[in-house]
Amino acid sequence: MIHPKARSRLRSALAATCAFACLAGMGLPAPLAAQEGAAAVQDVTVTDVMLPLGGTLLRAPKLTASGTRLSKDELAAILKSDSSEPWEARLARLDAGSLTIPVLTSEHAGPGDDRQTVTYRDVVARDVKSGRVRELTAAGATMSAAAGPNRGNGTYGQIRATDLDLTALSRLYTVPGDGKGPVQKVYGTIQVADVTYSDVRGTTVKIARLDGRDLGGRQIPDGWNGAFEIVAAGFQPPHDRRTFAAAAGDLIEATALGSLDMQGLSVSNADPQGPVLFEIGRATYAAAGPDSGTVLENITLSRGSLRAHLGRLALTNVSLAPTIAALRSFAAEPETRPGFSDAEMRRLTPALGGLTLADLSIDLPPDAELPKPPPQDPRPAARGPAPGKAAPAKPVDAKAPEAKPGDPLAVTITPAPTRRVALREAALSFGPPQDGLPSASRLTLSGLSLPADLVADAPIVGALPAYGYRDLDLDLVADAALDGKARDLTLREVTVSGRDIGTIRLAGTLGGFGPELFNGTLPATTMLMFTGSAKTLDLTVENAGLFERFLTAQSKDLSLKPDELRKEYVTASLLGVPVILGNTAAAKGIGAAMGQFVMKPGKLVLHAKSKEPAGIGFIDIGAARSPAALLERLDVDAKAN
């Protein structure tokens, strides 16, 4: 959902934009026809213009319309704040070659104690006819937020808009509709440069340039002004979550945006634990066409000695349809309830077709820190020797002698090397959502490299540093599908492979995965113990050097030759494993396959399937008396090489 602070700023920005545009357009007469007399064209100036628009009040000390046929009284009547004539009708009479407003101030109150003021400089509208502006510019603006929790101030650089339809803008903002009409385009293009905003928390946001194209929307029941007021109020009376959901759904569904291009975004925070800087070189959005989707480029994050960089992140096939559908269902409830539950928040999640990223690197701060000086003794020094005691020897100067070249006792302190985690590329794709959860997902990670000591505490892979691995180079694939009706989770592929290590591939089917696991009432792990079951399992292990390193390390620890230790492992596999597993036919097959793999480490394949259609429950697996009791309920096939 939209953060309250973001809702407030977005509502205020739209209100200011609407009011600013309306005021700019309402004094803009169109050029005269060639056959009309030049004497009819004149410059008209009005002063002390005050225009209320919803919760926003616009003030212009001076407004000059050039190339207009309107008289001063006619222009003043059009700009009259309490006029009973609709804006749409008044705009139809406005024609001008240009309109100039040296200072235009937008004042917005709310929500709560918030008070926001935006002051535009040198506002000029050109070629205005019947409420349509060919070009609208402002030299810059200042913004301040006083009172309330969001106090701060900021500035805008040059602002420019083209093909602005003031009639459509005022209609969307103030005239209710059913939300099903055609999209009315308000802007052809809009550009804003050099945006800076700082709040009292020490956070500063900067945007070098922002370009939008084809902005518009549909009329909605509360009007855009009314809908923003409802969303900004949240669940406060007289509104509740039903009215909130209805207004939010209307706004989301009614908004249309062709494309957006933002460059040079930075967010800095003067955190007491270390300044934080987050930057995005460029962010683009396109609603349609070959470049549809959202793309972020050159993303960086720094805090102290931590540095992270992401070359590119792309989102494709994003749909707000599930969000809108969920909001509509909440708005249609017969009785209201407070807030949104975790399950309802998942239903509000947009559908995401895919996510890709490339060139990720994270420079971690070094573990080692320079030694700190020992704390000084807070007790005061003795004034003199005790009676009958010899005076203490003169203390030796504590200053360390300077190290001389070649001195073997000289200590050189070097900073600890920076450790880096890197990822060449990653891709994540999703199937259609069911109750807020994707029906399928696939994750691929290529070229994941990291220091081996970072996984020292992890099971299994934590032993890799002991086998001579200093840096790991891994690839990962995880492909799964969820069948809500059958309550099955199918692991189509889970593969982890490492350079000079090997590959582990896992596939299978798990039962008992229903939506109740994700409703937040009980931990999923607790629910799974009672509802989950294992139906099939396919395991493949391929060696690419790990087994040989393991054998070499174990040989040194046991003072044996590698070939001698290998023979012992073969014997243990052929004889010991079947005994441990119950000495059944399946146990002997597993032992024989493991013996072949140890003798010639290549590939080991294990397939297991439950004899019961519902699978073996997780709680049964945990409570099994012995491995043999589980093997009796499985069909097992094991092969090597």
Q: Is 389 within the bounds of a domain?
A: no
Q: What is the pLDDT of residues 324-343, one digit of tens each?
A: 999 999 999 988 888 888 77
Lowest-pLDDT range of 31-35, 46-50, 230-234, 550-554: 31-35
CA distances 435 to 331, 416, 482, 485, Å, are 17, 49, 12, 12
pLDDT reading at 466 higher than 70: yes
Q: What is the pLDDT of residue 372?
A: 45
For residues 234 and 571, the model is more confident at 571
List all residues 6 or more positions away from 316 whose beta carbon is below 8 Å from its beta carbon.
292, 293, 353, 354, 355, 356
pLDDT band at 169 (very low <50, low <70, confident <90, very high): confident
| Percent of the chain predicted with pLDDT > 90 | 51
Q: Mean pLDDT across the stretch 356-382?
A: 64
Q: How many other β-carbons are positioned within 10 Å of the β-carbon of residue 231?
A: 25
- Which residue, 270, 297, 312, sits at the end of a domain? 270
373 lies in some domain: no
What value does the CA radius of gyration of the chain take, rounded to a whole number of Å? Answer: 35
Report the pLDDT averaged over residues 48-69: 86
Q: Which among 384, 408, 438 is the end of a domain?
A: 438
Is 550 a residue whose pLDDT tops 90?
Answer: yes
Q: Is residue 391 part of a domain?
A: no
* Higher pLDDT among residues 276 and 81, named by residue: 276
226 and 343 inside one domain: no
C-alpha to C-alpha distance for 288 and 316, rounded to whole angstroms: 11
**Domain co-membership, 234 together with 332:** no
602-624 average pLDDT score: 93
DSSP E strands: which ranges in 512-563?
Answer: 533-543
pLDDT band (50, 70, 90) for residue 274: confident
Average pLDDT for 580-606? 94
Q: What percent of the chain shows pLDDT beyond 70?
A: 82
Q: What confidence score (pLDDT) does residue 520 get? A: 55
Task: Using the predicted structure, report yes or no on whether residue 399 has a pLDDT greater than 60.
Answer: no
Residue 327: left if φ>0, alpha if ψ -120 to 50, beta else—which one?
alpha
- Element (H or E) spanning 32, and its range? none
Res. 237: pLDDT tops 50: yes
> Residue 384: helix, strand or coil by DSSP?
coil
Q: Give the pLDDT confidence score for residue 83 in this predicted structure.
A: 81
pLDDT of residue 256: 94
- Asked which of 212-226, 309-323, 327-341, 569-583 is least confident by mean pLDDT, the reply is 327-341
* Contact between 491 and 483 (Cβ < 8 Å): no
Residue 498 and residue 475 share a domain: yes
Alpha-carbon distance of 267 to 278, in angstroms, equals: 5
540 pLDDT tier (thresholds 50, 70, 90)? very high
Higher pLDDT, 179 or 519: 179
With beta carbons less than 8 A apart as the criterion, state whether 501 and 469 touch.
yes
Tell me the per-residue pLDDT of 472-531, one tens digit each, with 9 for 90 and over: 999 999 999 988 788 899 999 999 999 999 999 999 999 988 766 665 555 666 777 788
Q: For the chain, what is the mean pLDDT?
A: 83
- What is the token pair recorded at 121? 């400089």
Q: Is the pLDDT of residue 158 over 50?
A: yes
pLDDT digits (tens, 9 = 90+) for 412-462: 445 556 689 999 999 999 888 776 678 889 999 999 999 998 888 888 888
Q: Which range has the worst mean pLDDT, 4-8, 288-292, 300-304, 478-482? A: 4-8
**What's the pLDDT at 633?**
93
The verdict on residue 598 lying in a domain is yes
The yes-or-no verdict on residue 268 having pLDDT over 80 is yes
Question: How far is CA 41 from each of CA 30, 133, 134, 436, 467, rounded to the nearest angstrom?
Answer: 10, 19, 20, 62, 90
Q: How many domains does the chain have?
A: 3
pLDDT of residue 111: 66
Angle between helices 4-25 and 223-233 (to 10 degrees): 160
Query: Which amino acid is present at 238?
Result: P
| Burial of 307 (C-beta count, 10 Å sphere; 0-12/13-18/19+) | middle
Q: Please tell me whether residues 27 and 146 are part of one structural domain.
A: yes
| Residue of 536, 528, 530, 460 lying closest to 491 (CA atoms) | 536
Whether the predicted pLDDT of 300 surpasses 90:
yes
Q: Residues 196, 305: one domain?
A: no
pLDDT of residue 516: 67
Helix (H) or strand (E) holding 486: none
Number of neighbours of residue 526 by Cβ within 10 angstroms: 10
| pLDDT reading at 27 higher than 60 | no
Domain extent for 470? 449-640
Q: How far is CA 605 from CA 504, 571, 608, in A?
A: 10, 20, 10
Whether 532 and 511 have beta carbons less than 8 Å apart is answered as yes
378 domain-assigned: no
Note the pLDDT of residue 290. 81
Residue 347 lies in a domain: yes
* Mean pLDDT of the 589-599 span: 95
Query: Are 519 and 580 in a shared domain?
Result: yes
Residue 403 has pLDDT above 60, yes or no: no
Q: What is the mean pLDDT of residues 355-381?
A: 66
Sign of CA dihedral 172, 174, 175, 179: positive
What does the block give as tokens for 365?
């701060």
Q: Which of 145-154, 200-209, 376-385, 500-509 has the lowest mean pLDDT?
A: 376-385
- Band of the pLDDT at 88, cuts 50, 70, 90? confident
What's the CA gap between 12 and 212, in Å, rounded? Answer: 18
Q: Tell me: do 326 and 468 sit in the same domain.
A: no
User: Which of the residue ranges 106-115, 223-232, 590-599, 615-624 would you say has the lowest mean pLDDT?
Assistant: 106-115
211 touches 260 (CB < 8 A)? yes
Residues 6 or more apart in contact with residue 426 via CB below 8 angstroms: 356, 357, 358, 360, 443, 444, 445, 446
Of 90-94, 327-331, 388-392, 505-509, minimum mean pLDDT range: 388-392
Examine residue 511 and state whether it is found in any structural domain, yes or no.
yes
Give the separation between CA 136 and CA 23, rounded to whole angstroms: 12
pLDDT band at residue 10 under the 50/70/90 scheme:
very low
Question: Do residues 17 and 132 share a domain?
Answer: yes
- 306 neighbors 364 (Cβ within 8 angstroms): yes
Residue 632 tokens read as 């009796």
Q: What is the pLDDT of residue 518?
A: 64
In a domain, 143, yes or no: yes
Same-domain status, 255 and 203:
yes
pTM of the model: 0.78
Give one DSSP letter per residue of 597-617, joined into a string.
HHHS-SEEEEEEEESSTT-EE
What is the rounded distance in angstroms from the CA atom of residue 28 to the CA atom of residue 31?
Answer: 9
HSE value, Cβ hemisphere, 13 Å, CA-based, for 601: 18
- One domain, residues 430 and 457: no
Q: Are residues 239 and 293 in the same domain?
A: no
Low-confidence winner among 71-75, 114-118, 386-390 (lowest mean pLDDT): 386-390
201 plus 315 within the same structural domain: no
Domain boundary among 438, 466, 495: 438
Count the Cβ atoms, other than its own, within 10 Å of residue 144: 15
Phi, psi of 293 (to 5 degrees): 115, -170
Confidence (pLDDT) at 57 = 85
Looking at residues 18-39, what average pLDDT do you find? 39
Closest CA to 75 of 55, 54, 53, 101: 101
- Residue 187's contacts (CB-CB under 8 Å, 6 or more residues apart) are 161, 162, 163, 164, 165, 212, 213, 214, 215, 216
Distance CA 135, CA 129 (A): 11
Planar angle of CA 591, 592, 595, nearest 5 degrees? 85
